Amino acid sequence: MTSQHQRYQELSREEQVLQRIEKARARKAKLKEERITLSHGSGGKATQTLIEAVFLEAFANPLLAPLEDGAVLAAHGGRLAFTTDSYVVSPLFFPGGDIGDLAVNGTVNDLAVSGARPLWLSAGFILEEGFPVADLERIVGSMAAAAERAGVQIVTGDTKVVQRGKADGCYVNTAGVGVIERPLELGIATARPGDAVIVSGPIGEHGITVMLARGELDIESEVTSDTAPLNELVERLLDAAPGVRGLRDATRGGVATICNEVARAAGVAVVVEEEAVPVRPDVRGACELLGIDPLYVACEGRLVAVVDGDQVDAAMGALRSHPLGEGAAVIGRVRDDPPGLVLLKTSFGGTRIVDLLVGDPLPRIC
Amino acid sequence: MRFVDEFRDAEKAQALAAQIAALCEPGRQYKFMEVCGGHTHTIYKHGLEDYLPESITLVHGPGCPVCVIPMGRVDDAIFIAQQPDVIMTSFGDMMRVPGSNGAFFDATARGADIRMVYSPLDSLKIAKQNPDKRVVFMAIGFETTAPSSAMTVLRAKAVGIENFSIFCNHVTIIPAIKAILDSPDLRLDGFIGPGHVSTVIGCRPYEFIARDYGKPLVCAGFEPLDLLQSIYMLMLQLQEGRSEVENQYSRVVPWDGNLKALEVINEVMELRPYFEWRGLGFISHSALRVREEYASFDAERQFLVPGVRVADPKACQCGEVLKGVLKPWECKVFGTACTPETPIGTCMVSPEGACAAYYNFGRFTRERVKEATRS
């Protein structure tokens, strides 16, 4: 104790403060709010706190603990991946897709990045009284088409109708099961210094498309959502590069959030090169106008892969050979220090820390 | 991207950095304040401090509009939002600013209808679409955003929208800078002037700073090269023993400002005798209110807000941080009790608040970060 205290006293004041902060950051998450706010659903720090303080606290078990996109279950000598996700996007229809595509692709992708071959999905609908049947048919049509494209079947479902005003038109929940046929142990916690961080294509398209489709911004653009099933792409990647350590699809919270999850889970630093991050010019333009960082904007058809540094070429070759991975790029490297941190080397030539956001990225006024 | 990338050129930055370093006198320390929160954001977003020699320190000033809103005004705004049939509208970065009983986000969770807008005109649109509601715009910001608030009031009057009003919290930059200059524990070598505010007020109002206080000021743009060039211009003034107001942002800032915008502000608003600034206390003639002639568009008159003064939390040292007396990390609660998730002071709320920017981007010593990113 004394020697520890002495060591602490010997640090410079700034270092003392930094240590104090890190201690505070390492403290167990505690939910301070009395009510749920929108921040709790944004995928950033508030969501993480909610998950840790409420859900993990109550459900704690070893299958849930890794907090990957899907749980890996042992069954009859084989392994299954199991996942669920709810979709509440507004507007329901947007350029490049609708809530139906999203609900199927999202769950297919959660299974795919767990290393599984997606097979069966459930579909649950919460419909608001007065919702047009024609819209529902359109959504269900998209789901059927997306399921066919991804090679999965929707095998069970549920419908509930709530009073007008109690929901926003239509919410969809899907759960999915897939089989893990490879002897792989995927997990971002296994990332180690020297690994490469790869994204499978330009980022931020889905988030910006939906933001613009809400029509509040009076910005016109031809950006469309990138919603797509990634199972084929993942198959190809895993065939070519068995040294893939972990995969995530970059949905809520974007690529920045995933890099933070990697850094935190594996106790490593992730150093990202801003220049190397693929962003389409129209997405970048919209982000500049709104004061939002594309690294935090959601994708629905992009994955982030942490790959053994020696297998980068094989991984990139496999990704680029598939239409959904044409724009793949190595955006960064895993290092050992400072652990738990994501650093960005900016195009301008400086460096900064990329932290988790507290809530949704809020547009800045000046 | 055109009009952006040319202002973020790493090679030009290196050249400017070398020129800045050449102007540093050995053994001398330089402290410049960037008044505007937008500049703080640029500095952190691009990692601009990597280009500056150790002897130059940037101090983050009071120019972050949401950072200077006192808790009592947030409480008043939430009071308005909780009245029957009210829709409160606000810029996004106001949503998380804490009052004494939570922020806008917490008020919406309790049932208040508070919506995010991108312009006060959007708020007027909402008023038109909801004739049976009273729509209030939370007007915040310096002279940068005041003209658009004033313009919206004029528009509402012209088209006869009667269910719209603004809750005016607009502040003016000059009295805040003066308060900082008069603060006894301050040692600054010069100012990086707020570019956006200056598009409205011009450069002339800063002349007293150079003349009476002997501090150079350079009005700067918001791209990283703009800032480096401004720092170079400040260093050159110091080296040549000059103290002047210069305009680096001449592609946007006219020396005399935007007369039309000033007229519009003046038509709708007038100076308050005094206004409370978060951390800085009461500053006379430092804020705007709606004129009597436009009383029907003034939420303060329409709703009889409680107007209770709420003292800043004791532990919070936002004032010292805003004046540049303390570095964010020197505050007692920085990073422990006060974090971006649970901000006590406003400096921690907006990403351009000095503390949030430091917490997000600057927590680690520069040497460690540099070592980590070395390829």
| Chain A residues with beta carbon closer than 8 angstroms to that of B338 | none
> Does A338 sit within 8 Å of B47, measured CB to CB?
no
Average pLDDT of the segment spanning B275-300:
94
Nearest CA in chain B to A27: B336
Residue A365 lies in a domain: no
pLDDT in tens, A54-72: 999 899 999 998 888 889 9
Specify if A314 maps to a domain.
yes
Whether residue A215 sits in one domain with residue A163? no
State whether A11 and A152 are in the same domain: yes
Do both A168 and A232 map to the same domain? Answer: no
Domain count along chain A: 2
Nearest to A350 by CA among B306, B370, B293: B370
CA distance A30 to A303: 30
In tens, the pLDDT along B247-285 reads 999 999 999 999 999 999 999 999 999 999 987 889 999
Residue in chain B nearest A344 by alpha carbon:
B373
Looking at the predicted structure, is the pLDDT value of residue A202 above 50? yes
pLDDT in tens, B52-81: 998 998 888 888 888 888 889 999 999 999
Q: Among B41, B117, B335, select the one facing A17 at the smallest CB separation.
A: B335
**Domain stops at, among A145, A180, A215:** A180
Encode pLDDT of B14-44 as tens digits.
Answer: 999 999 999 999 999 999 999 998 898 899 8
Confidence of residue B98 (pLDDT cuts 50, 70, 90): confident
User: Across residues A37-41, what is the average pLDDT?
Assistant: 86
Residue A136's domain comprises: 4-180
Contact A271/B360, CB-based, under 8 Å? no
Query: In what side-by-side order are the strands of the sheet with A71-75?
Result: A71-75, A78-87, A170-180, A117-128, A153-162
Residues A219 and A332 in one domain: yes
Other beta carbons less than 10 A from residue B207's beta carbon: 12
Length reported for chain A:
366
The secondary structure of chain B, three-state, reads CCCCHHHCCHHHHHHHHHHHHHHCCCCCCEEEEEEEHHHHHHHHHHCHHHHCCCCEEEEEEEECHHHHCCHHHHHHHHHHHCCCCEEEEECHHHCCCCEECECHHHHHHCCCCEEECCCHHHHHHHHHHCCCCEEEEEEEECCCCHHHHHHHHHHHHHHCCCCEEEEEEEECHHHHHHHHHHCCCCCCCEEEECHHHHHHHCCHHHHHHHHHCCCCEEECCCCHHHHHHHHHHHHHHHHCCCCCEEECCCCCCCCCCCHHHHHHHHHHEEECCEEEECCCEEEECCEEEECHHHHHHEHHHHHCCCCCCCCCCCCCCHHHHHCCCCCHHHCCCECCCECCCCCCCHHHCCCCCHHHHHHHHCCCCHHHHHHHHCC
Substitution target from A283, A341, A347, A348 for chain B, most B beta carbons within 10 A: A348
Q: What is the mean pLDDT of residues A221-228?
A: 93
- Looking at residues B291-307, what average pLDDT do you find? 95
Pick from B47, B92, B142: CB nearest A351:
B47
- ipTM value: 0.85
User: At A128, is the pLDDT very low, low, confident or very high (cuts 50, 70, 90)?
Assistant: very high
In a domain, A301, yes or no: yes
Domain membership of residue A219 (yes or no) is yes
Q: For residue A342, is pLDDT > 90?
A: yes
Quick one: A345 and A258 in the same domain?
Answer: yes
Q: Which residue of B has its CA nearest to A345?
A: B373
CA distance B32 to B193: 10
Please check whether residues A172 and A257 belong to one and the same domain.
no
Kindly identify which residue of chain A lies nearest to residue B363, measuring between CA atoms.
A18
Which tens digits make up the pLDDT trace of A90-109?
Answer: 999 999 999 999 999 999 99
Lowest mean pLDDT: which of A45-49, A329-333, B107-111? A45-49
Burial of A1 (0-12, 13-18, 19+ CB in 10 A): exposed
Same domain, A205 and A171: no
A196 CA: distance to closest CA in chain B (Å) = 13
CA of residue B274 relative to chain centroid, distance = 18
Which pTM was predicted?
A: 0.89
Bridge-partner residues for A120, per DSSP? Answer: A153, A177
- Identify the band that residue B375 occupies on the pLDDT scale cut at 50, 70 and 90: low
Verify that A211 and A83 share a domain, yes or no: no
| Whether residue A193 sits in one domain with residue A130 | no
Answer with the residue of higher pLDDT: A150 or A338. A150
Per the CB < 8 Å rule, is A37 touching B65? no
| Residue A40 resides in a domain | yes
> Is the CB of B372 less than 8 angstroms away from the CB of A335?
yes
Q: Is the dihedral of CA B119, B124, B126, B127 positive or negative?
A: positive
pLDDT above 90 coverage of chain B, percent: 65
Band (pLDDT 50/70/90 cuts) for residue A9 is low
Q: Which residues of A touch B108 (CB under 8 A)?
A: 37-38
With tokens 């009273």, the residue in question is B134
pLDDT tens figures, B343-360: 887 778 766 677 887 776
Residues on chain B touching A25 (C-beta within 8 angstroms): 335
Say if residue A215 is exposed, middle or buried (CB neighbours under 10 Å; 0-12, 13-18, 19+).
exposed
Q: What is the mean pLDDT of residues A9-38?
A: 75
Q: Tell me if A362 is assigned to some domain.
A: no
CB pairs under 8 A between A and B: 159
Residue A360 domain-assigned? no
- Which CATH number goes with the domain that contains A238? 3.90.650.10
Residue A2 has pLDDT above 70, yes or no: no
Contacts of B8 in chain A (CB under 8 A): 347-348
- Note whether A170 and A236 are same-domain residues: no
Taking residues A297-306, report their average pLDDT. 96
Name the DSSP class of A141. H
Task: Indicate whether A366 pLDDT > 50.
Answer: no
Residues in chain A with CB shorter than 8 Å from the CB of B329 are: 14, 17-18, 21
- Angstrom distance (rounded) from CA B50 to CA A351: 7
**End residue of a domain, out of A141, A158, A180:** A180
Same domain, A170 and A221: no
The verdict on a CB contact (< 8 Å) between A343 and B36 is: no
CATH number at residue A42: 3.30.1330.10
Q: Is A317 within a domain?
A: yes
Comparison of pLDDT for B138 and B363, the residue scoring more: B138
Token digits of residue A298 = 């959601």
pLDDT for B139 beyond 50: yes
Among A128, A163, A180, the domain boundary falls at A180
Check whether residue A173 and residue A207 sit in a common domain.
no
